Structure 1
Amino acid sequence: MEKPIIYLYEPLKAEQIEKIKQTAENYTVAASKEELSSLDIHSIEIMLGWDKELGQQLLTSPDSQLKWVQTISAGVDTLDLDQFSKKGVLLSNASGIHSISIAEHVLGVLFTEYRGIRKSIIKQQEKVWSRDDLSYQQLSGQKMLIVGTGHIGQQLAAFTQGLGIQTYGVNTSGRATTGFIECYSQKNMKRIITEMDIVVNILPLTDQTYQLYNEHMFQAMKPGTVFVNVGRGPSVNTADLTAALKNGQLRFAALDVFEEEPLPEDSELWNMENVLITPHISGLTPHFKTKLSTIFLENLTSYLANHTLAKNAISLKKGY
C-alpha cells in the first residue's frame, strides 16, 4: 500500500526537507511537482502551501485523502473554506511570520509622510532645494487606531509605545489586548474612530470585513485622518476611498493592498499626491522559509500525535 504523501508545494531548503522526513517517517515527502508526478495525488494527506489547481481537484474528489493544509500566508480568504469544512480538512496559516516586517512597513510609510520625506524624494529627482511646501509633524503624541489586534497589530503596538504614539485597538469582541490603551469591538468602531489621527487596517477578509471602509466609515473619521491599509484590499471600497482623499476627509493614504491587484493603470490613485502606493510588499520577510518550516514542523508533530494543530489553526467558520 502506498504511503500517505506530504506535498511541499512551497519549496524548502534541503535541511528543512530532511527534518520533515525524519519527523514523518511513515510518509512519502514530495518536495516538488516533479517528485509528485510519479505518485498518486489522491494519497496526498498534507500540503504545505496551496497548489490551487491540484488543491481544488482534491477538495472535490471522493478519493482524496487530504486532511491538512498549511498555508504560507496569514490570510486564507482566497480558499474555499466551505469545501474545506465539508471535507473535514484542517487548515493553518503562517500568522506571526510577517509581524515585524508589516509593523516596520507601517511605521516606514508613516515617517515618510510625517517628516516630509516622500516629497523630498520627489524634489531630489527634480534637483530642487526647497522647504516651501514640505509639511512636517511628530508621530509622537498622535492617536493611532489599529484595526486588527492579532500578531501583527500587537507587534505594531509594541513598536509604537517607544515612539510615544497613543495606540488603541479594534477586534471582534472589544477584548483587552496587550499593548493597547483600550480596545473596542468592530461594531463600536465608528464611535472611537472620530478621535483618531491615524487608522491602520490589518484585518483579515471575512464577510464582516468586506467593504468595511466605505463612504460611511470614512465620513465617521475626523477630517485630515491618515489611513494605512496592510490588511486586505477588498476591505476597502476604492471609489469611496478616492472620494475621501479628494475631499480632504483623508489627508494621506498609504496603500499596500487593493481591491484589484495589480492596481489598474487607469486608477486615479496612481496620480494622487496624497497617496503612497506599494505593490503588496509589506509582508516580505527575511528568513521566511526558516520561520515557515518552524511552524510547519510544530504542527506536523502535533498532527502526527493526535490529528490536531498546535499553532495557527484556522476556524473555518470564522475565516481566521
Structure 2
Amino acid sequence: MIVFSAKISSKHQKKLTETFPNQQFVFGEQPADIEKQLDEAEVYVTYGNDVTEEFLAKAPNVKWIACLSAGVDGFPFEQLKERGILLTNARGIHKTQMAEYAIAMLLQVYRNAKTIIENERHSEWDKGVRIREITGKTLLILGTGAIGSETARLAKAFHMNVIGVSRSGKATEHFDEVYRATELMRALPQADLIVSVLPSTAETKQILTYNHFKAMRESAVFLNMGRGDVLIEDDLLRAVREEEIDHAVLDVFEEEPLPKEHGFWKEKNITITPHLSGLSPEYVKRALEIFHKNLAVYENKNGELINKINPDRGY
C-alpha cells in the first residue's frame, strides 16, 4: 500500500493510479484518515514534516519514505537506519526557481529596488539613488549541487566570475574554480556577491560565523537561500550593523516564521523574504516525476532509486 500524506491534485492522483494499476494508493485528506492506514503502508509519500519517531512506531511495515521536498534534516535518521527504511527526496527540482530568485534578489540589491519602490510610494523623484551593476562581478556560491550550478549558469549571462565551495572541491561545470569547504576563508575575500545554498547537516550547522562575515568585502552582498542554521544569526546581525558587509538577503531562518521582534526586521540593509525561493507552480509536477521514476524502479526491483539519502550523512 502506498499512502500519501502529501496533498496532490486529482489530476496527479489519476495519473498515478493509471500508470501503476497494480498498486493500491491511499490519498489521505485528513491526518486521521492517514493514521488508519499506517499499519499497512509499505510506501509513504510526504512533504516531510510529519516523519518522526512516533510516526515510525505507527508504521511497522513501511519500507520506503518518499519525500516530495529536498529538506530532510528533521528526519529520525537513526531509526530509519536501524529499520533499513529507504529515504528519497526531491533534490534537484528547485534549481530553476531558486536560481532565478538568487539572480533577481542580487539585482534588486544592486539596483536599489527597495529605495526606488519606497520613493514611488511617496511620489518622490530622486535620481541620486545608488545604482550598481552585477555584470563582471565575482560571485561565490556555497554549494555546487543542482541549485548552485544553475545559479552559476545564469550568472555567466552577466559575464560573472563564479567561484564555488563544496565538500570535495571538485571541478564543476559553470564554475571558474571550486574550493574545498576547508578553504572557505580563502574564497570569501574574493567575492562581491556570496550565495549560500548549503543544506542543513552536522558539517554545515553554524559554519558561518562573525569571522567569516568579517572576511568578506565591506561592499559584499550575502544571500542565504539554503538553510537558516548554516550561520549564527547574531553574528550576521552584528556584521551588518558594524558594516562589515553591505547587505544581506535572507530567505531561511532558524525559527520560521521569523519572530516579529527579531533584529533582522529592523535593519535597512537586510532584505527578508518568507522562505519562498523554492516556490513554483511546477513544483509538484517535478517532484512527482521523480516519484514516478522511483516507483517504477521499486516495483520492478530493477535499477537505482533517484535521490537516495545516506542516513549517516543526512543528505
Paired residues of 2:193 and 2:221 also in contact (CA < 8 A):
yes
Of 119, 141, 162 in structure 2, the residue corresponding to residue 123 of structure 1 is 119
Alignment-derived partner of residue 262 in structure 1: 257
Unaligned segments of structure 1, at least 5 residues:
none
Letter in 2 for 1:47: Y
Distance 1:245 1:52, change over 3 A: closer
Alignment-derived partner of residue 283 in structure 2: 288
Alignment-derived partner of residue 234 in structure 1: 229
Q: Partner of 2:3: helix, strand, or coil?
A: strand
Distance 1:38 1:8, change over 3 A: closer
Distance across 2 between alignment mates of 1:58 and 1:112: 43
Letter in 1 for 2:187: I
Of 250, 264, 269 in structure 2, the residue corresponding to residue 274 of structure 1 is 269
The equivalences for 1:1-320 within 5 A come to 5-33=1-29, 36=33, 39-50=36-47, 52-53=49-50, 56-61=53-58, 64-132=60-128, 134-306=129-301, 309-320=304-315
Distance across 1 between alignment mates of 2:51 and 2:273: 31
Distance across 2 between alignment mates of 1:104 and 1:82: 36
Distance 1:21 1:56, change over 3 A: farther
Using the TM superposition, give the Cα deviation of residue 72 of structure 1 relative to its aligned residue in structure 2, in angstroms: 2.0
Q: Partner of 1:66: helix, strand, or coil?
A: coil
Letter in 2 for 1:255: L
Using the TM superposition, give the Cα deviation of residue 22 of structure 1 relative to its aligned residue in structure 2, in angstroms: 3.8
Tell which deviates more after alignment, 244-253 or 109-118.
Answer: 109-118
Distance across 1 between alignment mates of 2:190 and 2:52: 45
Paired residues of 1:229 and 1:257 also in contact (CA < 8 A):
yes
Paired residues of 1:97 and 1:285 also in contact (CA < 8 A):
no
Distance 1:189 1:126, change over 3 A: same
Distance across 2 between alignment mates of 1:56 and 1:50: 16
Q: What is the root-mean-square deviation in Å for CA atoms of aligned residues?
A: 1.9
Distance 1:118 1:239, change over 3 A: same
Using the TM superposition, give the Cα deviation of residue 308 of structure 1 relative to its aligned residue in structure 2, in angstroms: 6.2
Using the TM superposition, give the Cα deviation of residue 25 of structure 1 relative to its aligned residue in structure 2, in angstroms: 3.6
Distance across 2 between alignment mates of 1:231 and 1:137: 25
Distance 1:282 1:37, change over 3 A: closer
- 1:14-60, Cα deviation, whole Å (9 max, x unpaired): 34223322444443200114594595421111111146557543423
Distance 1:219 1:302, change over 3 A: same
Aligned pairs, number: 314
Distance 1:263 1:307, change over 3 A: farther
Distance across 2 between alignment mates of 1:54 and 1:155: 30
Letter in 1 for 2:248: A
Distance across 2 between alignment mates of 1:38 and 1:238: 38
- 1:216-238, Cα deviation, whole Å (9 max, x unpaired): 21122222211000000011111
Distance across 1 between alignment mates of 2:251 and 2:284: 22
Q: Partner of 1:121: helix, strand, or coil?
A: helix
Paired residues of 2:5 and 2:34 also in contact (CA < 8 A):
no
Paired residues of 1:7 and 1:36 also in contact (CA < 8 A):
no
Distance across 2 between alignment mates of 1:176 and 1:209: 20
Distance 1:51 1:244, change over 3 A: closer
Q: Partner of 2:69: helix, strand, or coil?
A: coil
Q: Identity over the aligned pairs, expressed in percent?
A: 31
